[in-house]
Copies of this chain bind each other. A is one copy, B any other.
């Protein structure tokens, strides 16, 4: 999605440690018309895939999941990040290590919100090493639902998570795929 690449080049900030900050339009501050454009593109990519449910994880996945849901007209379910040791019984859960925040948590979602007869589209804002996405896939598998694939706003391809998951046969569509980035330059893969 060329418009997203241009937005990243214009407004994104590369921070030490391979962090890309896009707070000005995707997290912290959300450019609403641009968000809806991203949602529409995700809807186009997964049309005719029989998606019955969108699954994401708090917090910054929620906005883009809601945007896509308005075009696909399916419910959004989001996993919570549970940092305590208390996990209820009636949930699916998976352990996730966050690259950006340098912490580990249990992603948790109530069993009642993903059913075996669902076809699930997983949506998130970022894909780097892929730990959150692996966790979301794991939870869908626990439910017995079918996975249509994943849609990501920005994939940092050079961190390898996306390709590792694609090798397992899961479809991933990234609206912008960064091949490499330095303080001065962000190079996209088409």
Contact = CB atoms under 8 A, between A and B. Distances in A.
Contacts of A32: 66, 69-70, 73-76
A55 to B, nearest CB: 10
A46 interface: no
A73 to B, nearest CB: 7
B76 A63 contact: yes
A23 B108 CA distance: 13
Interface string A25-65: 00111111101100000000000000000000011101100
A32 B110 CA distance: 18
Contact of A58 (B33, B58, B67, B110): B58
A22 interface: no
A54 B87 CA distance: 33
A59 B75 contact: no
A75 B31 contact: yes
Interface in A132-180: none
Contacts of A73: 32-33
Contacts of A31: 75
Interface of A: 23-24, 27-33, 35-36, 58-60, 62-63, 66-67, 69-70, 73-78, 80, 109-110, 112-113
11 contacts: A28-B78, A28-B80, A28-B110, A29-B75, A30-B75, A30-B77, A32-B70, A32-B76, A58-B60, A62-B66, A63-B76
Given A59-B59, A70-B70, 4 more contacts: A24-B112, A30-B66, A32-B74, A32-B76
